[in-house]
Amino acid sequence: MTSVSVLGSGSRGNAVAISTGGQTLLVDAGFSSKELRRRAEHAGVELSGLCGIALTHEHHDHARGALRLAEHFGVPVLASPGTWAALRREGRTAGRQDGSSGGRTTGLAVASDETPRRQDAGPPRRRVAETPSRRAAVSLP
Considering the four listed CATH numbers 3.40.50.1370, 3.40.50.1970, 3.60.150.10, 3.60.15.10, the one that applies to the domain covering 2-139 is 3.60.15.10
| Predicted local confidence at residue 106, as pLDDT | 46
Residue 103 has a pLDDT of: 45
pTM (predicted TM-score): 0.74
Contact call for residues 138 and 62 (beta carbons, < 8 A): no
Q: What is the pLDDT at residue 86?
A: 85
> Per-residue confidence of the chain (141 residues) as pLDDT tens digits?
789 999 999 999 999 999 988 889 999 999 999 999 999 999 999 999 998 898 888 999 999 999 999 889 988 888 888 888 888 888 777 656 555 444 444 445 555 544 444 455 555 555 555 555 555 555 444
The b-or-e profile of 81-90 (16+ CB within 10 A means b, else e) is ebbbebbbee
Through-space distance between the first and last CA atoms of the chain, rounded to whole angstroms: 26
Helix crossing, 33-43 with 66-73: angle to 10°?
70
Contact 73, 102 (CB under 8 A): no
- Please list the residues that pair with 23 across neighbouring strands: 20
- Look at residues 112, 113, 110, 72 and name the one whose alpha carbon lies nearest to residue 94: 72
Q: Which pLDDT value is given to residue 101?
A: 43
- CA pair distance 129, 24, nearest whole angstrom: 10
Nearest to 38 by CA among 7, 61, 75, 64: 7
